[in-house]
Amino acid sequence: MSGHRLFVIAHRAGNGLDTLRAAETAGALWVEADVWAHRGRLEVRHTKTMGPIPLLWDRWRLELANRPQLTLDALVRSAKQETTLLLDLKGSAPDLVPLASSTLDELAPQRPYAVCSRNWDLLDAYPRGPRVRVLYSVGSAPELRAALQHLAQPRTDGISIHARLLTAEVVAHLREQAGMVISWPINTLALAERLQSWGVDGVSTDRLEVVRAL
66-92 burial, b at 16+ Cβ within 10 Å, e below that, comes to eeebbbbeebbeebeeebbbbbbbbee
What is the pLDDT at residue 154? 57
CA distance 102 to 208: 31
In DSSP notation, 2-35 reads -SSPPEEEETTGGGSHHHHHHHHHHT-SEEEEEE
- Residue among 82, 24, 74 at smallest CA distance from 45: 74
pTM of the model: 0.89
Q: How far is CA 121 from CA 44, 51, 82, 142, 147, in A?
A: 20, 22, 29, 16, 13
What is the pLDDT at residue 39? 80
What is the pLDDT at residue 150? 78
What is the pLDDT at residue 56? 41
- Residue among 70, 54, 82, 61 at smallest CA distance from 19: 70
Residue 27's region, left for phi above 0, alpha for psi from -120 to 50, else beta, is left
In three-state secondary structure terms, 44 is strand
What is the pLDDT at residue 67? 60
In the CATH scheme, what is the code of domain 7-213?
A: 3.20.20.190
Q: What are phi and psi of 34, to 5 degrees?
A: -95, 125
pLDDT in tens, the chain (214 residues): 455 789 999 999 999 999 999 999 999 999 999 999 988 899 998 544 445 544 343 555 545 455 668 999 999 999 999 999 999 999 889 999 999 999 999 999 999 999 999 999 999 999 999 999 999 999 999 999 888 877 766 567 899 999 999 999 999 999 888 889 999 999 999 999 999 999 999 999 999 999 999 9
Q: What Rg, from alpha-carbon coordinates, does the chain have? A: 17
Q: What's the angle, vertex CA 8, arms to CA 82 and CA 191, rounded to 5?
A: 175
What is the pLDDT at residue 157? 86
What is the pLDDT at residue 151? 74
Domain ranges of the chain: 7-213
CA distance 173 to 179: 9
